[in-house]
Amino acid sequence: MPEWTLLEAVNQAFAHEMRADKDVVVLGEDVGVNGGVFRATDGLIEEFGSDRVVDTPLAESVIVGMSIGMAAQGLKPVVELQFMGFIYPAVDQIINHAARLRNRTRGRLTCPMVIRAPFGGGIHAPEHHSESTEAIFAHMPGVRVVIPSSPARAYGLLLAAIRDPDPVVFLEPKRVYRLGKQEIEDNGEALPLDSCFILRDGVDVTLVSWGASIKETLEAANELAQQGIDAEVIDVATISPLDIDTILDSVSRTGRCVIVHEAARSFGVGAEIAAQLAGEGITSLLAPVKRVTGFDTVMPLHRYEQDYLPGVNRIVYAVKQSMEYR
């Protein structure tokens, strides 16, 4: 089987689905001739032509608005927005139109489109290139929010997102785009949306994360194992709608939970998970839910990024606090 990076897995998922379904089209700034800002669409225009791989003007609202019309008329557009920090001009189109089309038409029309954006910090870029504002879209009914954390999950979840009849915001953690490779069979098998993935079994504490922070979370679990603490690791993957049942089931066995994400701490997805654990899993908890997160500031530049992003030491410290709680 071929070995792909997360970025290559995205590219191969595109190619597979475009060969299988002529209604799938790709559009965005520089996605054609240049192959995308990170080269996620590299080679697609040569195989599928400029009618299906469309370079657009630099206008996010226009790109998404045009794609909503295409989706309503039977196509399956996949939009690339170059960075999550550039997504805000399109928020009106996403929230007021894409998310509401099924409800507005009482099911007569759907909006099968995917809005892709590289997101998160860790590559020493200016702040508009380092956003982690997934909670904005998770709060909006009618939109799925999917975040892969590995090449295999990027491939399977992107296939599922393209095939979904409703709009999907698909956020790709660029910090791990080229971090490592994984063997993946290019068989067109999608992974389930709306489901968490248990990456590591454990009995002492549940670690919940998504996106690039999965890397540090797994590293922390390995370090904790050397200290006699057996951590279960859950990749949320689809943050909206949230598969809270998998998290509740894990916490019912471990009694403790630490949530890890690089987005700002306040009003985030981690807070929602903690609230649901308090509401539905309080009798299972042996300690308060802990959160290891970014800070309530704009992502700092360059060397200060590493102080902002949740690291292994911060995760291990939070777990030990949870284990020592009486």
Give bridge partners of residue 28 from the DSSP assignment: 55, 80
Rounded CA separation 324/207 (Å): 16
- Total Cβ atoms within 10 A of residue 34: 13
| Element holding 109 (H helix, E strand) | none
Known catalytic residue at 129: yes
Geometric angle at alpha carbon 131, from 128 and 134, rounded to 5°: 145
Terminal-residue alpha carbon distance, the chain: 50
Report the b/e string of 292-325 with b at 16+ CB within 10 A.
bbbeeeebeeeeebeebbbbbebbbebbeebbee
CA-to-CA separations, 166 to 112, 144, 145, 175, 193, in angstroms, rounded: 5, 8, 11, 28, 12
> 147: which residues sit within 8 A by CB, 6+ positions away?
119, 134, 170, 171, 172, 173, 210, 211, 236, 237, 238, 239
Instruction: Name the residue with tokens 């902002």.
Output: 308
Answer yes or no: are the C-beta atoms of 231 and 220 closer than 8 Å: yes
What is the number of residues in the chain? Answer: 326
**Among 129, 139, 261, 302, the one annotated catalytic:** 129
Geometric angle at alpha carbon 12, from 7 and 17, rounded to 5°: 130
Structure tokens at 57: 């003007």
Catalytic positions: 129
